[in-house]
Structures are given as C-alpha cells and as structure tokens.
A and B are shown apart, each in its own frame.
Chain A
Amino acid sequence: MHIKKERILNSRQSLLLLPALIYLLVFYFLPITNIFFKSLSLNDGFSLDNYVRILNVPVYRQVLINTVKIAFSVSFICLILGYPTAYFLLKLPKRIFNVVIIIVIIPFWTSILVRSFAWVVLLQKEGAVNNLLLKLDIISQPIDILYNATGVHLGMVYVLLPYMIIVLYSSMENIDRQQLKVAQSLGANPVSAFIKVFIPYSLNGIYIGFLFVFLLAFGYFITPALLGGRKETMIAMLIDTQMNRMLDWGFGSALSFFLFICIVIILIILSFVVDIESIINKSQQS
C-alpha cells in the first residue's frame, strides 16, 4: 500500500519535543558556543590568531587529513563487512538470530580501553596472531601489524562494526521482501533482483550507517593512540595534548571547533551527493 505519512506535527505535539530541545541547548549548543568564544580570545580581546595558526602550521593540516583518511577507510571496511552480515542476519531463524545478535552486541559492554589494549596483546611481535600464523607456516617471520595503520584499522573496525551492522540490519528489516519475489516473477534472476531491487532500498541504511561510523571514527582517540604509530596521529589526540598538557585552552578550543566545522562541512557535502529526502521517501514507499 502506498501511504505517505503525514509529517506535520500540531503545536501540542511539538511541545513533546521541548525537553529534548532544552537538553540539547544546555548540554550541547551552549558548550559549543562557549568553546567557540574561548577559541577567539588570545590574551584579552578577540583575535583569530588560533585559527590562523591551525591553517598555517602544516602539522595540523596533516593530522586533519590523516584523520579524514583513516575515518573514511575504516567506515568503508565496516560497510563491506557489515552489509553481508546484516543481510545474513535477516535470513536467520529466530532462535539463532537471538544468539548471533547478542554476540554482536556483547563487545559494547566491555570498556573500549580494555578492548583496544587486548588488540595490543594480540598483534604484537610475539602475540597470538603472529604465533598462529608462524605455526601454520603462513609466514616465516613475525609480521608488523601493530603500531601502524594495519593495527589501527583492525582495532577501529572491530569496535565500530557492531554499529554498522545494527544500523544496516534495522534498515534492511523494513524492506518489503515481496518486491524481490515480484522482480523474480517478472524474469529477473536472484542476483540481479538483489542488485537492482534490494540494494537501492537499503541505500538509506547504508548512508546512515556510513555516516554514523564515520563521525564516530573521526573523533577517536584511545584506539589510534594505543594501536597506531606516529603517522596515525588523529586530531583528538592533538586536542588532548593542548588541553591537558600544554594548557592552551584557547588553542585546544580552536582545534575542537575546527573539527566541528569540518564535520558539518562533510555532512553538507555528503547530503548533496546522496539526496537524503528522496531516499527516505523511496524506502517509505516500499
């Protein structure tokens, strides 16, 4: 049935939004404004010196580019791994599904510091992974999978994959599988039915899942700090140094606000590349 839901709230229903809006105002928008003003002051009086420093000194540009690269590749890998997993979850009988979903969610209950540290133990030269590969004669020398990009990607994908799976699954759950059967009865083989019908309907989930993981990965601190080398320095680590050690809160605030603006810009760009409105409408029509 093609029913387009009424999306206009009447004024009494809008009042229900008030508590959430007030919460956001006090605990989100106000602090961000505070940070913004802190970043403008440099020894009394307004100045954009902090921002000039960010744009001029090459290290901050380099770190920002590194951060975007890592966040992007981690999100991409999560998508590649998460999509088949979510699809697989769709097909499971209920009992097995319950077990698998718990396995996916259990890592959330463990502290991220513990999980990241566990990867250090696994990936080190004489760690479990290298020992296994050596025993199976797949390699003859221990491989370098820690304190570099490989280690960071392994750790971050491990932590962020459940988010991707859950978002993709909930969007896939809402896809009407009758459409696939219709396509097949009209002559399509299962594979092209999947490609031409299922995937477009799941684009909404893909977009949201990718964005979600990307935003999380962008601000990551602990995992790259523990598992990465000096070239995997991400911007959150620099902000931490400025705030906690150098005590330059003005500059730290400027870096934070800069990060915030970058994310907003990326969101705006992505919203042009992927037209959200039509995707949401399309998936609602299914």
Chain B
Amino acid sequence: MQMIKNLQTLSFQGRLGLKICMCIFALVFIFSGFNGCSKDNQKKELVVCSYGGSFQDAQRKAFFTPFEKETGIKIVEANWSGEYAKLKAMVDSDSVTWDLVTVAEGSIIERGIIDNILEEINYSKIDKSLFFEGSLTRYSVGFDLFSTVMAYRTDAFQGFPPPQSWADFWNVEKYPGDRCLRKDPRTTLEFALLADGVQMGSLYPLDLDRAFKSLDKIKKHVKVWWSSGHQPAQLLASKEVVMVSAFNGRIWNAVKNDNVPAEVVWNQGALDVDSWVIPKGTKNFEAAMKLIEFTSRPEVQKEFIKYISYGPTIKSTFDNLDAKTMKDLPTAPENYPKQFIFNGKWWAENERMVEEKWNQWLIKD
C-alpha cells in the first residue's frame, strides 16, 4: 500500500516536471521562431556562399566585413564546393537560401544560363569597360582571376634547375618523387596535353585519346588525387608529395602564412575567373547587387589581393601596385602571357561525356 502511494506521488511529480520542461521547450521554440522570421531581418541580411578555406577568409576580410561596416547589411556565410545540383535544386524547388554565390568554374555559369537558374545582373551602376576581357557575362560578375598551376617544393630538387613546364612534371627521371593532380578532368586533361607537346593555342577542342595516353605515363607516380582546394598545399607542407597542380592563391597562402617552402610555376597555367552569380528567385536582389558593386571597386579589389594572390578583374587596380605583389598575381604583365584561358564553354558542352571516360580511366590499373 505504502509502495503504491509512493509510486502515485512519484508519477504525479514526474508528470509535473515533464509538463514544466515541455512548456520551457515550447517557449524556446516560439521565441527562436520570432527571431528567424521577422521581415526586417530579411532585408538586413545577405546570405553569401563560397568555397571556404583561406579563400573565403580573404573574402571575409576584404569584402564582407568592410561591406557590413559601410551598409549595415549583415552577411551570413554559407559553404559549397561547386555542387551545381544544390544550386539547381534550390532554384527549382523555389526555396532559395543563398542570395549570392561565388562560382569558380566557368562551366557552372554556362550550365546555369542554359538551365535558366540565374538572375540577370543589373549593370546600371557598373562600368563594364573597366573590366578585363572575359570577366563578365550577362549573368555573372567576375571579382578575381585565378590560375590552376604547377607548384613544387623548393627543397626537393637540390642542385637542379627547377621544373618549368608540364613536360618537366611528367619527367620522373629528372624530377623523381610523388605527385598530386586534381581528381577532375578539368585542367588535368589540358596539362596532360601540354606535357605531350600540344601548344597552348591549340588545346581546344581537347584531343581526349591523346590526353589519356599522356596521363597513363604519369599515373603510377600520382600518389594522391586532390578534390578540395586546400589539399595540394597541405600535401606539399607535409612532404607527402613533391609536385602538385593547385590553385595559385592557396599555395601563396601556404608560403606566406605557414612558411611552406614552395614555388609556383606560371608557365602553362590555366586562367579562370571567380564570379558572383545570383540564384533566380532570391528575395535579396538589391542587397546582392550592392555587394557586387562593392567588390567592383579598384580599392576593394586591391584589399582582396592582400589576403590571397588572385588577380583583380578591374584593370585600374594594377596602377598602384608594387612589383613585389605583382609577381604573385596571375594577371600581372609578366605572368599573364605565359598562361592559357580555361575554356568553360567547351567543358559545359562536353562535361558529361568526358566525366565517364575520366572515371573509367581513373579506376583501371
């Protein structure tokens, strides 16, 4: 009897405690809901998506923080690695959560235009003539020019003249050691053709058979295939490999901030542009345009160069730069002519077919 009475008291208390807990949870949910859904917040907040790492750090320091100070619009950051499917799914299902997106591959922009998922840029406040050729399209505004280049550890080839071309990268007798290439046919196929002797001017349309034959020669010396921008620099730093293909800015960062003994080779690099696109259906078009206009100012682009060595898209930025900074930029007059321009349009048209051949080639011995 006593036990049953105890049990009953227990359960009543237990239920009271449970009720109190549930009330608290409900209140927490209601209040957090208020904060998220207020209309004011939507106007004063801009969701910007980019590739993370030292690249996004540089964007934050040069673009986002000064922009917030000047306009009062808060920037909320998001991440992606170029998964086009995410962008398309967002627009197709009318649940666009990104207002402004950094796109590093021209082929993504081309596909976005074909699939009609990008907003047209309002160029009324932007002077197109100030930009380098190829930086702008109707649906995208470029804010930096970067290169995919060869990089190597400076302490790896003592006493030898350093590698200067993709043919050198392929030359394992002269430059022994493990290599790292991108786990993606884009730029890797071009480099394979260049190593085989094709001239930069006659790369496109790509001779796929020749590229894969050339890649066969280097296959067993490629220890790692990188899929994320930070990997090549990290592998050089940990001495896992001696030569890589990489985005030039990430290597520069590793050298400057982490003292990695590495050097970039501009010869035969692949130039491409980082652009802003606005997904169709965003509710923050004006704020997004404001940020685009902000990053199209020469002084803002100059600030960006401080944090990562990607070239500006505004020509006049070069006017006041010192020689030391210039030599690290892909678009500096001494570096620009050595490279070729990555053909996003060819890739947008041929990606699917090439991807399957690439997967096939990658797997077999």
Inter-chain contacts of B365 with A (CB < 8 A): 231
A96 to B362, CA, bound (A): 49
A258 to B84, alpha carbons, bound, how many Å?
A: 24
> Which residues of B sit under 8 angstroms from A244, Cβ to Cβ?
83-86
Residue of A nearest to B352 (CB): A246
Is B223's beta carbon under 8 Å from chain A?
Answer: yes
What are the 5 A-B residue pairs with the smallest beta carbon separation, nearest first? Answer: A59-B360, A244-B83, A244-B85, A230-B362, A247-B85
Distance of A196 from chain B, by nearest CB (Å):
45
Overall SS of chain A's interface = helix
Q: Does A49 contact B (CB under 8 A)?
A: no
In the complex, which of the residues B84, B224, B225, B363 contacts A245, with contact meaning CB atoms closer than 8 Å? B84
User: A-contacting residues of B (Cβ < 8 Å)?
Assistant: 82-86, 88, 183, 223-225, 227, 238-240, 351-352, 355-356, 359-360, 362-365
**Known contacts being A58-B360, A244-B83, A245-B85, is A125 close to B355, with CB within 8 Å?**
no
Q: Once the chains bind, are A125 and B363 in contact (CB under 8 Å)? A: no
Shortest distance in angstroms between B326's beta carbon and chain A's nearest beta carbon?
34
CB nearest to B225 among chain A residues: A230
- A238 and B359: CB pair below 8 A? yes
Q: Does B364 contact A62, Cβ atoms closer than 8 Å?
A: yes
Chain B residues, CB < 8 A from A59 = 356, 359-360, 363-364
Select A126's contact among B83, B86, B239, beta carbons within 8 Å.
Answer: B239
Nearest-neighbour CB distance to chain B for A172, whole angstroms, equals 36
A66 CB contacts on chain B under 8 angstroms: 363
Give the residue of B84, B227, B356 whose beta carbon is less than 8 angstroms from that of A57.
B356
Asked if A233 and B363 sit within 8 Å, CB to CB, the answer is yes
* Complex Cα–Cα for A246 and B86 (A): 11
Q: Write out the residue numbers on chain B whose beta carbons fall within 8 Å of the beta carbon of A146.
A: 240
Contact of B355 among A225, A231, A246 (CB under 8 A): A246
Which B residues are in CB contact (< 8 Å) with A219? none
Q: Quick check: B363 and A231 within 8 Å, CB to CB?
A: yes
Q: A245-B84, A246-B352 are in contact. Are A62 and B238 (CB under 8 A)?
A: no
Best-buried of B183, B225, B240 by chain A (most CB within 10 Å): B240
Proximity string of chain A (246-257) to chain B, C-beta cutoff 8 Å, 1 when within and 0 when not: 111100000000
A126 to B352, CA, bound (A): 38
A247–B84 CB distance below 8 A: yes
- Contact mask A120-164 → B, CB, 8 Å, 1/0? 000011110000000000000000001100000000000000000
